[in-house]
A = this chain, B = another copy of it.
Amino acid sequence: MNNHIKIIYCTQCRWLLRSAWMAQELLTTFDEEITELTLVPGKGGIFQIWINDELVWSRQETGQFPEIKELKQLVRDRVAPDKDLGHSDKKSDDSS
């Protein structure tokens, strides 16, 4: 099973560092499940996360970045539905 994550970020907004941080979080947690993770420089305030060609996060729609826990749940649900994310893996509306 191939799983390809893509993070498109705005260079003008200087979102490389947070995108690379998210990339490392995902590659650490899903080291057996992610086949490749691509960082894509963009413009004009774009921040999107794609999992296997499905758009799972767009800052233009949500107005914000995902919490890292939320992001991991989005990935887990699609690439490793049985995976336990540990103590942070409460139900999605738990903000702890």
Contacts and interface: CB of A to CB of B under 8 A. Distances in A.
Interface SS, A side: mixed
Interface of A: 6, 11, 16-17, 20, 23-24, 27-28, 31, 34-41
A17 B24 contact: yes
Contacts of A28: 16
Contacts of A37: 38-40
Contacts of A39: 23, 27, 36-39
Given A6-B36, A16-B31, 6 more contacts: A11-B31, A20-B27, A31-B41, A36-B40, A36-B41, A38-B39
14 contacts: A11-B31, A16-B24, A16-B28, A16-B31, A20-B23, A20-B24, A20-B27, A23-B23, A23-B39, A27-B39, A27-B41, A31-B41, A36-B39, A37-B40
